[in-house]
Structure 1
């Protein structure tokens, strides 16, 4: 029997291929292929939820899924900053610093089984990483995982997470440059103002945005007003158009098309 705290030769081979392949990941579709290619050898899954913090500590969430059942509504509920699943898991992770493994039939106090089923996740293997100041640097959550939820899976998460976050950060940095980041007035609008404008772009009202972000409607209105003042525009539509022109936002639907790459039927 092999040592449960060490990788077998076969596992070492899988890990080497994962790390070597990560060096070629530069764009979002490369990341998707990497996650649903080499990484599947160690953590076979259908949904990856992940995020990295920017320089201000603001968490940038991403999803890479081949599951047609995991819809926009599920994703928005998962990343909700107030009572979202990621928020709760991050808090639990901070308390222990160990991977959080929630199997399909797991049902402790808190009703995890029902909640994951409602969100079309089925199961979840979550791990995080902190900055030296204790703030969350990034996280990854694999769902619809098809291996036992045991110490082996926890070890895979522990080994892979730093490489996954570095690779994701590289992809996001490349996207920022491709979107004309160098042309943006540095620091013009804050990450939170960008987030509010993103939901304005998607047709949400102030009330709806407040509910999605876990803020008061007055706070949402203030973020929008500040962004409009900084960009010297008078209407919500003008604010969205200006933010897209400056490279802070993508055009309608662009992010969704790139972030969710489902197999063609």
Structure 2
């Protein structure tokens, strides 16, 4: 950290301490996120796990990218066409992409135009490989204030600690505790698996549709799922429900 100022060094130290103290995804969002922004100013951040062979997103966590943009972040079979992610897989070094980037291929213009529609001026990505080198955790930043050699150095410095934090939170990967949901949320999840609507669940459980809606929203948040189907898939893979 010799190239960092005293203020930057203090911010990095606070960030590292935060990364090594979190145990939940909520901690990752509220504790690590702000300290990460102190070290590396940016407007948007998302991360996850991908398969190296085809850039298939296995699991994703979005902290601040526009939801509408993230809904189109992956295409068929969860493949991610992001040019920065493609370049990172090739080089495994910090990558920065903006409209003037020499890394863009002709087919990347549609992706870039979509990003610009959502107010995303640039994207930077770095990651950490798994020991098997079959998967990697990636860390994606949107609208960085600047990009230079120091910024790339910071990404290399921060990524291993982000990797540690992400892979140690309870809700990421296959570490989800059996009691993550309340008994009522577990009931709602069971009926979601059965294809029941909110009104049908309300009738079965003897509660209002509004209350069912709240339970559904809570369990989606706890499972870090974007849809009901996504929640069911995550619940099955983590052993919360059996099929």
TM-score tier by shorter-chain length is: 0.5 to 0.7
Structure 1 residues 131, 26: closer, same or farther in 2, change over 3 A?
closer
2:85 to 83, 90, 113: 90
Q: 1:51: which partner in 2?
A: 48
Check if 1:74 corresponds to 2:38. no
Contact (CA 8 Å) 2:18, 2:32: kept in 1 or not?
Answer: no
**Deviation sequence 1:209-229 (CA, Å, 0-9, x none):** xxxxxxxxxxxxxxxxxxx9x
Structure 1 residues 58, 143: closer, same or farther in 2, change over 3 A?
closer
Structure 1 residues 124, 58: closer, same or farther in 2, change over 3 A?
closer
Structure 1 residues 119, 78: closer, same or farther in 2, change over 3 A?
farther
**Deviation sequence 1:159-218 (CA, Å, 0-9, x none):** 11111121112223587116459xxxxxxxxxxxxxxxx9xx6xxxxxxxxxxxxxxxxx
Higher relative contact order (CA 8 A, sep 6+): 1
Give the aligned CA root-mean-square deviation in angstroms: 3.8
Aligned length: 190
Relative to the length of structure 2, the TM-score reads: 0.62
CA distance in 1, matches of 2:161, 2:152: 15
Check if 1:123 corresponds to 2:119. no
Contact (CA 8 Å) 1:50, 1:140: kept in 2 or not?
Answer: yes
CA distance in 1, matches of 2:220, 2:117: 21
Relative to the length of structure 1, the TM-score reads: 0.58
Specify the SS of the correspondent of 2:176. helix
CA distance in 2, matches of 1:84, 1:255: 26
Structure 1 residues 106, 18: closer, same or farther in 2, change over 3 A?
same
Specify the SS of the correspondent of 2:177. helix
Q: 2:235: which partner in 1?
A: none
Extract unaligned runs of 5+ from structure 1: 182-197, 202-227, 229-234, 242-250, 261-265
CA distance in 2, matches of 1:106, 1:144: 14
Check if 1:254 corresponds to 2:206. no
Structure 2 counterparts to residues 1-265 of structure 1, below 5 A: 6-52=3-49, 59-65=58-64, 70-71=66-67, 73-80=68-75, 81=77, 84-86=80-82, 88-103=83-98, 106=101, 108-109=104-105, 110-111=108-109, 113-146=112-145, 148-173=146-171, 176-177=176-177, 179=179, 236-237=195-196, 252-254=216-218, 257=221
Contact (CA 8 Å) 1:127, 1:161: kept in 2 or not?
Answer: yes
